[in-house]
C-alpha cells in the first residue's frame, strides 16, 4: 500500500512540474510574440520616418492605378491624402526608437529606393 502511495505522490509531483514547465513555456512564447510585434512596429515606424516615405507611397499608388478600374481610382487618391494618419499612428513608436546602426540604416535606404 505504501508503495502505491509513493508512486501516486511521485506522479502528482511530475504532473505539477509539467504544469509549471507549461506555464514557463507560455510566458516565453508570449514574450517572444511581444518582441516580434515590437520589431515589426519598429520597422514600420522607421519606414514612415524615412525621407523617401512619400515617394514610396506615390510609386505604390501608381502601381495600384495600373490595374484598378476607373471608378475605384478616387479611393486610391483618398488613401494617399490620409498618409499623415499613418505617420501620426507611428509617432509614439518613433519617440521610443533608439538610434539605428549604420548597417540597418543602409538596409533601410536600400529598401526605400528599390
Residue 69 or residue 22, greater confidence = 69
pLDDT in tens, 33-50: 998 998 888 888 999 989
Scanning the structure block, which residue is given the C-alpha cell 500500500? 1
Q: Residue 114: its pLDDT value, please?
A: 80
Is pLDDT larger for residue 14 or for residue 48?
Answer: 48
Minimal CA–CA distance to 104: which of 50, 34, 30, 31?
A: 50
The H or E element containing residue 70 is: none
pLDDT score, position 95: 82
pLDDT at position 69, please? 92
9 pLDDT band, cuts 50/70/90, is: low
Contacts of 111 (CB under 8 A, 6+ apart): 47
Q: Which of 16-25, 49-58, 79-88 has the lowest mean pLDDT?
A: 16-25
Residue 10 reports pLDDT greater than 60 = no
8 Å CB contact between 76 and 61 = yes
27: which 3 cell numbers? 510566458
- The CA distance from 22 to 32, in Å, is 15
What cell was used for 77? 487618391
Amino acid at each position: 500500500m505504501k508503495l502505491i502511495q509513493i508512486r501516486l505522490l511521485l506522479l502528482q509531483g511530475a504532473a505539477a512540474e509539467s504544469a509549471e514547465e507549461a506555464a514557463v513555456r507560455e510566458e516565453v512564447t508570449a514574450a517572444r510574440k511581444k518582441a516580434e510585434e515590437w520589431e515589426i512596429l519598429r520597422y514600420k515606424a522607421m519606414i514612415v520616418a524615412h525621407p523617401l516615405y512619400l515617394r514610396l507611397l506615390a510609386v505604390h499608388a501608381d502601381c495600384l492605378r495600373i490595374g484598378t478600374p476607373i471608378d475605384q481610382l478616387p479611393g486610391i487618391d483618398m488613401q494617399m491624402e490620409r498618409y499623415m494618419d499613418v505617420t501620426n499612428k507611428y509617432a509614439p513608436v518613433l519617440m521610443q526608437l533608439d538610434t539605428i546602426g549604420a548597417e540597418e540604416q543602409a538596409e533601410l535606404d536600400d529598401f526605400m529606393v528599390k
